Amino acid sequence: MPALIDPKGDSEDGGSRRDRDARSLLFVGGLLVLAAILASWNASSVARRYSPANAAARVDVNHAGAEELSELPGVGPALAQRIIAARASGGRFGDVADLIARVDGLGTQAAAALASRVAFGE
Protein backbone atom coordinates (compact mmCIF):
# COMPACT_ATOMS: atom_id res chain seq x y z
CA MET A 1 0.00 0.00 0.00
CA PRO A 2 1.46 3.41 -0.90
CA ALA A 3 2.51 5.68 1.91
CA LEU A 4 -0.05 8.25 2.86
CA ILE A 5 1.17 11.83 2.82
CA ASP A 6 -0.29 14.44 5.09
CA PRO A 7 -0.48 18.14 4.19
CA LYS A 8 2.83 18.86 5.96
CA GLY A 9 4.70 16.59 3.53
CA ASP A 10 5.44 13.85 6.08
CA SER A 11 4.92 10.22 5.07
CA GLU A 12 3.87 7.30 7.24
CA ASP A 13 7.48 6.08 7.59
CA GLY A 14 8.51 9.32 9.34
CA GLY A 15 10.60 10.90 6.54
CA SER A 16 9.55 14.04 4.76
CA ARG A 17 9.52 14.60 1.04
CA ARG A 18 11.79 17.61 1.55
CA ASP A 19 14.40 15.47 3.32
CA ARG A 20 14.33 12.92 0.52
CA ASP A 21 14.61 15.67 -2.10
CA ALA A 22 17.50 17.26 -0.21
CA ARG A 23 19.34 13.93 -0.04
CA SER A 24 18.76 13.39 -3.76
CA LEU A 25 20.10 16.84 -4.61
CA LEU A 26 23.12 16.27 -2.37
CA PHE A 27 23.81 12.95 -4.10
CA VAL A 28 23.54 14.49 -7.58
CA GLY A 29 25.75 17.40 -6.48
CA GLY A 30 28.36 14.95 -5.22
CA LEU A 31 28.31 13.13 -8.55
CA LEU A 32 28.81 16.43 -10.39
CA VAL A 33 31.77 17.35 -8.18
CA LEU A 34 33.31 13.92 -8.74
CA ALA A 35 32.84 14.25 -12.51
CA ALA A 36 34.48 17.70 -12.44
CA ILE A 37 37.45 16.37 -10.48
CA LEU A 38 37.93 13.47 -12.89
CA ALA A 39 37.64 15.77 -15.92
CA SER A 40 40.19 18.17 -14.43
CA TRP A 41 42.57 15.32 -13.65
CA ASN A 42 42.34 14.03 -17.22
CA ALA A 43 42.76 17.52 -18.72
CA SER A 44 45.86 18.22 -16.65
CA SER A 45 47.30 14.85 -17.65
CA VAL A 46 46.79 15.64 -21.33
CA ALA A 47 48.18 19.16 -20.85
CA ARG A 48 51.34 17.80 -19.20
CA ARG A 49 51.82 15.24 -21.94
CA TYR A 50 51.52 17.70 -24.84
CA SER A 51 52.67 20.99 -23.33
CA PRO A 52 55.47 23.00 -24.96
CA ALA A 53 57.38 22.80 -21.67
CA ASN A 54 57.51 19.02 -21.99
CA ALA A 55 58.42 19.24 -25.67
CA ALA A 56 61.89 20.32 -24.61
CA ALA A 57 62.15 17.14 -22.52
CA ARG A 58 61.30 15.02 -25.55
CA VAL A 59 63.92 13.35 -27.67
CA ASP A 60 63.91 14.34 -31.34
CA VAL A 61 64.28 11.02 -33.17
CA ASN A 62 65.26 12.83 -36.36
CA HIS A 63 68.36 14.35 -34.77
CA ALA A 64 69.20 12.34 -31.63
CA GLY A 65 72.28 10.21 -31.31
CA ALA A 66 72.44 6.65 -30.03
CA GLU A 67 73.09 7.73 -26.45
CA GLU A 68 70.03 10.01 -26.33
CA LEU A 69 67.80 7.40 -27.97
CA SER A 70 69.01 4.73 -25.52
CA GLU A 71 67.67 6.82 -22.63
CA LEU A 72 64.11 6.36 -23.90
CA PRO A 73 62.01 3.68 -22.18
CA GLY A 74 62.30 0.32 -23.94
CA VAL A 75 65.09 1.49 -26.27
CA GLY A 76 68.45 -0.13 -25.77
CA PRO A 77 71.69 0.41 -27.69
CA ALA A 78 70.75 -2.08 -30.44
CA LEU A 79 67.33 -0.53 -31.09
CA ALA A 80 68.87 2.96 -31.00
CA GLN A 81 71.29 1.88 -33.74
CA ARG A 82 68.41 0.48 -35.83
CA ILE A 83 66.55 3.80 -35.47
CA ILE A 84 69.63 5.70 -36.64
CA ALA A 85 70.16 3.28 -39.56
CA ALA A 86 66.51 3.60 -40.66
CA ARG A 87 66.79 7.39 -40.45
CA ALA A 88 70.01 7.36 -42.50
CA SER A 89 68.59 5.15 -45.23
CA GLY A 90 65.02 6.50 -45.44
CA GLY A 91 65.23 10.09 -44.26
CA ARG A 92 63.50 11.74 -41.37
CA PHE A 93 60.57 10.14 -39.55
CA GLY A 94 57.20 11.84 -39.90
CA ASP A 95 55.39 10.35 -36.90
CA VAL A 96 55.18 7.33 -34.60
CA ALA A 97 53.49 5.20 -37.29
CA ASP A 98 56.40 5.92 -39.65
CA LEU A 99 58.85 4.98 -36.89
CA ILE A 100 57.06 1.65 -36.32
CA ALA A 101 56.93 0.85 -40.04
CA ARG A 102 60.61 1.54 -40.70
CA VAL A 103 62.38 0.25 -37.58
CA ASP A 104 62.61 -3.51 -37.09
CA GLY A 105 61.89 -4.60 -33.53
CA LEU A 106 59.80 -1.57 -32.63
CA GLY A 107 56.23 -2.70 -32.12
CA THR A 108 53.05 -0.79 -31.42
CA GLN A 109 53.22 -1.30 -27.64
CA ALA A 110 56.78 0.00 -27.41
CA ALA A 111 55.93 2.90 -29.70
CA ALA A 112 52.88 3.77 -27.60
CA ALA A 113 55.16 4.04 -24.56
CA LEU A 114 57.49 6.29 -26.55
CA ALA A 115 54.81 8.52 -28.08
CA SER A 116 54.81 11.06 -25.27
CA ARG A 117 58.62 11.09 -25.06
CA VAL A 118 59.61 11.62 -28.69
CA ALA A 119 59.42 14.53 -31.11
CA PHE A 120 59.79 14.61 -34.90
CA GLY A 121 61.74 17.74 -35.75
CA GLU A 122 62.60 18.97 -39.21
Running DSSP on this structure, what letter comes out for residue 95?
S
Identify whether residues 73 and 31 lie together within a single domain.
Answer: no
What is the CA 48 to chain-centroid distance, rounded? 9
| 95 is a domain residue | yes
pLDDT value of residue 47: 54
| 94 is a domain residue | yes
What end-to-end distance do the CA atoms of the chain give, in Å?
Answer: 76
pTM, rounded to two decimals: 0.53
Range of the domain at 25: 17-50
| 92 is a domain residue | yes
| 5 is a domain residue | no
Identify whether residues 74 and 110 lie together within a single domain.
Answer: yes
pLDDT value of residue 78: 93
Q: What residue ranges of the chain have pLDDT lower than 50?
A: none
Q: What share of the chain is helix, strand, coil (3-state, %, to 5)?
A: 60, 5, 35
